Amino acid sequence: MRILVVAGARPNFVKVAPVIKALKQTGRAEVVLVHTGQHYDYSMSAAFFEELFIPAPDIFLGVGSGSHGEQTARILSTFEEVLLKDPPAAAAVVGDVNSTLACALAAAKCGVPVAHVEAGLRSFDRTMPEEINRVLTDALADYLFTHSPDADENLRREGAPEERIFLVGNVMIDTLREYEAAARARDVAGRLGLQAGGYAMCTLHRPSNVDDPGTLRTVVQILTDLQSECPVVFPMHPRTRTRLETFGLADVLLEQKNLQAIDPLGYLDFIGLMATAALALTDSGGVQEETTALGVPCLTLRESTERPVTVTLGTNAVVGTDPNRILAAARRALNGDWPRGILPEGWDGHAAERIAAVLCAERPTLAPRKPIMSRVT
């Protein structure tokens, strides 16, 4: 059967890599990789394809940047053309970016079954564009592949049919486990003059943190205060760098002797840097999961998380953007006063295999059906 796998942005590439591999290994699927072009520069796109051995996209939509409406509309229109030209057996979308929603909507309207990898995540904060993308994509999907039991419960509360929900585990951890050794061997910390276990790293990109000058100024002050107690390395998302420059805050970071503001890192370097950090500060959902898997303390600079399992079981704490609260939590983590965390169910490196088993099961079509699995095995 012919299955389209869609990716558009940096977080997507990490998730589709094991899914593509697992689908091909079944011997029952022709996999067509569609790259929407939502992220298109080297650091945000091409580097991931090279490092994770993702095959070159079979179809590149080249939508580029733009407002949410512009970008979503372009993806919807161009992906619809792909579907109408040669309808696949299914379209698999991952995560919660604009590409996820636009391609799910196009597929649903074209009568193509939609599989959503990482379904059921909820922050319950509709001010987040990602939350809107998640809710709508799940409403459209025929196959809801979840990464933890709380995601299953979210879907049930929203009325998702039980037969569409599949608890398969976390595909991001599939990729992490496959490449962790190679990432550590790159010794990124050493190349930056940092001692393993002796520094904090920071990632920021969400509009709530970087688009408001007051909030971004507060975050910069937090990093300035923290670097006086511990070295800080800050790989900067292009969006974040632009906002720092626009708001006149870039020079403030550059003036700090114990803070390194660097260009975005490829996947292996990023994981290698995270794996030996004493602490991560982030607004990224993926980093919350990866730090839990790596046992690294994580402070989420948001008021909510769509990944509560990283708090209840893992190493994550949601701390908002209050400087006193963040610095107090950071000091506890740096002093070793932090939960060690445990791995949630199904975060075992085999989630993609379970997804492939569902999608490639022997049957006439990919129409909704009784579940092959309702829990991780």
Q: Are residues 127 and 202 in the same domain?
A: no
What amino acid is encoded at 368 in this protein? P
Q: Are residues 56 and 102 in the same domain?
A: yes
Here the tokens at position 256 are 């700090």
What is the C-alpha separation between 83 and 88, in angstroms, rounded? 7
Q: For a pLDDT cut of 70, what percent of the chain falls above it?
A: 94
Q: Give the confidence band of 62 by pLDDT, cuts at 50, 70, 90.
A: confident
State yes or no: pLDDT of 41 exceeds 80. Answer: no
Please enumerate, as own/partner, the contacts of 121-124 that have beta carbons within 8 Å and a separation of 24 or more: 121/96, 121/147, 121/151, 121/154, 121/285, 121/306, 121/307, 122/151, 122/154, 122/306, 123/302, 123/304, 123/305, 123/306, 124/304
Tell me which of 46 and 127 has the higher pLDDT: 127
Q: Are residues 19 and 154 in the same domain?
A: yes
What pLDDT is attached to residue 11? Answer: 83
pLDDT 10s digits, 282-320: 999 999 999 999 999 999 999 999 999 999 999 999 999
Q: What is the mean pLDDT of the chain?
A: 92
What pLDDT is attached to residue 362? Answer: 64
373 domain residue, yes or no: no
Q: Are residues 124 and 236 in the same domain?
A: no
pLDDT 10s digits, 363-376: 544 444 333 344 44
- Residues spanned by the domain of 118: 2-170+346-359
Closest by Cα among 215, 5, 227 to 107: 5
Q: Are residues 25 and 133 in the same domain?
A: yes
The CATH number of residue 70's host domain is 3.40.50.2000
What pLDDT is attached to residue 375? Answer: 40
Q: Are residues 11 and 135 in the same domain?
A: yes
Q: For a pLDDT cut of 90, what percent of the chain falls above it?
A: 83
Here the tokens at position 91 are 């379209």
Q: Are residues 123 and 191 in the same domain?
A: no
Which residues are known to be catalytic? 205
What pLDDT is attached to residue 374? Answer: 41
pLDDT 10s digits, 233-250: 999 988 899 999 999 999
Q: Are residues 20 and 157 in the same domain?
A: yes
What is the C-alpha separation between 322 and 16, in angstroms, rounded? 35
Q: Are residues 8 and 157 in the same domain?
A: yes
Q: Are residues 96 and 22 in the same domain?
A: yes
State yes or no: pLDDT of 46 exceeds 80. Answer: no
What pLDDT is attached to residue 39? Answer: 60
- Give the C-alpha distances (Å, rounded to integers) separating 261 from 118, 193, 241: 31, 13, 9
What pLDDT is attached to residue 311? Answer: 98
Q: Are residues 140 and 200 in the same domain?
A: no
What pLDDT is attached to residue 63? Answer: 81
Q: Give the confidence band of 269 by pLDDT, cuts at 50, 70, 90.
A: very high
Domains contained in the chain, number: 2
State yes or no: pLDDT of 176 exceeds 90. Answer: yes
309 domain residue, yes or no: yes
